[in-house]
Structures are given as structure tokens and as C-alpha cells.
Amino acid sequence: MDLRSSRFRAVFVFLMALLIIWYRAPMRMAHGFLWAEDAAVFMAQAHQFGVRSIITSYAGYLHLIPRVIAWVQMKISSVQTAPHFFVLCCAVIVCLSSACIAKTLDNIRPGAAIAVALAPVLSPQNGEVLLTITNLQWMLFPLLIVLLWECVFQPPEKGYAWRTALVAVLTLTGPFGVLAWPFLAAAVVHALRQRRLSSRQVTLLVVYSLAVAVQVFVMIRFPGEQHPSGKIAWASRAYKELFLDYLPSQAPILLGAVFAILLALVVCLSRGALALVSIVIMGVAIWALGAVRINMYVANFVWYGDGSRYLYVPLLFFMWCAIVSAETARFRWAAVTSVFLACAMLLASVSKFEVAEFPATVMQRTATGYDMDVAPGWHVHVDSAR
């Protein structure tokens, strides 16, 4: 297999991503899994509203892909098969996402492209976003970023139709497309200083902007639950949650600052510094929004514990920065440092991954449907005629 070929590289990454997912969550892959809103919202509302559930908002925005998965599952199989159906769909979709990322990245060496593509399944997390349709939006956000970057800075010669459709679907799945829009607008302004955009590029960007507008309308028209705010220790929390938690618990506290400084240095010394700084800012913004949203319920996020989904994207972006910096560093020592940082992140991810702690799904038939106990300790009833 020639990994310089984008097609072979995509196939290789798909298979590797599937193996990694199986290694990280073998019980979920073998026995199925449901997480919180998988059953309480998406399954329940698919049975309650039918096809209308696909355009029903939850938490203040649309979840197109999870809604479609839940509706299709209701149509073609029984409630008992939902844990397996959801896990299979998530595994295939995430692996396809990684394959698409690998296929897109033709401007860097195959090894770096593969590392970037596999980062979504290797980056630090505790399993909260893995193989659940509720949190599938988090694992698909990297693909949206790559597709938008490709459109602006590395436009393909063909394939705009499926790329445009995919960007629209991803934007209508979760709020992240809205968050990325200002960064994309700045990128377009930067690109226009160099050259004009083609009509196909403009079409993709217009469709993306329209999808963003739809999500913004839903957010305004159907706002999610408003959580009470509280005082947030921004500096200490950012330091601990984004940097210090990479290190063993017995490590000196100052090593977290060393980690942060080294990451900042290699990013700034990269040939793609502007792009890397942008995704760092975007990742930190997601962490900050999460801190505001559930501050009164979770005093601190821990990527191997509570609130881990709000750390998944920033830590993934940090890993991307280390990988890309290793490829594009202006100095050899910076490249070596980038490799060291990427390996440290990977080691932390592997050593603290605790997916097995989540309970398995328990399902009991009733006269009106099914009573379920699903992770992370929710009791749910799904009305079903099946």
C-alpha cells in the first residue's frame, strides 16, 4: 500500500481508526452502548415525533446526524438493537471522518497526515464522546474544520458537491459550525489578499453560511436551558485543565507551565503559525464556553472525568498543533520538541483512559415501551409500539 496515494491513505486510516476504537472501547463495540440523551432524547423523540424529530432542536440547536440515526434505527430495527445500532453507526462515521481528513491533507507528508487524521480517536478523553450519538458532534467537528480549511486554502479540483453537502450536514449537527464561522470569515479575508475564490469555493462557503444562519435562528428562537452562572477562576482552571492534567499527579506543578510554554513556542515557530494559533484560540473558546455553561454544576473539568467533553476539542487541537509543528517547524529543535509534546499527550491519553467505568445499558420491557438504565446513571422510559 502506497500511503502517498490519498485513496490508500484514507483506507489505511479507516482501518486503523476502527482498530483503535475497538482497543479503547471493546465492551461498547461488542455489547452496544447508550449514553444519556441517546435514549432520553433522540430515541424517545424519534418514537414520539417520527420524522419531525429530525428537525427538533435540543439544548438550543439542531442535531441532524444523531436525529437521523435515531429515526432510521426506529424504522428498521427494534428498541433492543439500539445500543448496537448506535455504536456501529458512530464507529463507521468516526472512521469515515478520519479517513476523509487523511485524504484531504495532501500538502504534508503521509505520516503527519495519518497522525492528524487519527488524533480524534487518540486524543485525551475518558470515553464520554466515544461511540455515542449524543456526543458525535464533538468528534465530527475536526472534519468540518479540515473541509473549510481545504476549501479556502487548498481547493480541490473536483468533489465539491459532496463536500458542500457534508459541510452543511456537519454544521447542522451541533453548535460548532457557528463558533467556527468568525474564524472562517477571517481566513477568507486573508485568502482574498492572495487570489480570488472560484465559484465552487464561494458556493460551498455560502451553503455553510446559510447552515450557520439556520443554527443561529434555532438558537435564538428555541434557546436551551439557561444555567445559573457563578464566579470562575479562569487562570487557575485553564492552567490545570488544559496543561497540568497531562502530567502524572505527583509531577511538580511548574511542569504544567513548562508544557504550556513549549507548546506556545513550537506553534509560533511553525510555518503555519497563524492557522495553529487560530485553532488554539478556538479550542480554548470552547473550553471557556463550557465553563460558563455548567460552572455551577462542575467546579472543574477533568478530561479523564467530569466535563471531559468540554476538553476534548481543545486537547485534540493541541495535539494537532504538536503534529503539524513537527512537520513545519523552522528549527530542528522545535521539531524535536513538537514530537516530544505529541508523544506526551498520547501517553497521557492512553494511561488515563477510563471508558470501562461507564455502566452498561440495562433494558426492561413494559406495557408501554421500555425502561432503561443508561450511562452515566440515567433512568429513561421510551414509549414504543415495537
In-domain check, residue 376: no
In-domain check, residue 52: yes
In-domain check, residue 364: no
Is pLDDT above 80 for 41? Answer: yes
Query: What's the structural domain count of the chain?
Result: 1
Q: pLDDT band for position 338 (50/70/90)? A: very high
Which range of residues forms the domain containing residue 214? 6-357
> How far apart are the two ends of the chain, measured CA to CA in Å?
47
**pLDDT given at position 298:** 66
In-domain check, residue 367: no
Average pLDDT over residues 366-383: 89
d(CA 73, CA 53): 13
59 Ramachandran zone, left/alpha/beta (phi>0; psi -120 to 50): left
Residues listed for the chain: 386
130 Ramachandran zone, left/alpha/beta (phi>0; psi -120 to 50): beta
**pLDDT given at position 3:** 60
In-domain check, residue 266: yes
What pLDDT digit, counting tens, does each position of 226-259 carry?
666 678 888 888 999 999 988 877 778 888 899 9
C-alpha cell at 55: 428537525
C-alpha cell at 248: 502524572
Do residues 67 and 108 lie in contact, with contact meaning Cβ atoms separated by under 8 Å? no
In-domain check, residue 368: no
Do residues 298 and 321 lie in contact, with contact meaning Cβ atoms separated by under 8 Å? no
What pLDDT digit, counting tens, does each position of 176-233 carry?
999 999 999 999 999 998 888 999 999 999 999 999 999 999 999 988 776 666 788 8
159 Ramachandran zone, left/alpha/beta (phi>0; psi -120 to 50): left
In-domain check, residue 377: no
φ/ψ of 329, rounded to 5, equals -60, 145
**pLDDT given at position 234:** 87
**pLDDT given at position 216:** 97
In-domain check, residue 378: no
Q: pLDDT band for position 4 (50/70/90)? A: low
Q: pLDDT band for position 93 (50/70/90)? A: very high
What is the model's pTM?
A: 0.94
Q: pLDDT band for position 75 (50/70/90)? A: very high
Is pLDDT above 80 for 73? Answer: yes
Is pLDDT above 70 for 385? Answer: no
What pLDDT digit, counting tens, does each position of 125-140 carry?
988 899 999 999 999 9
Residue 347's closest CA among 355, 337, 339? 339
Round the average pLDDT of the chain to a whole number and report it: 91
Q: Is the alpha carbon torsion for 139, 143, 148, 153 positive or negative? A: positive
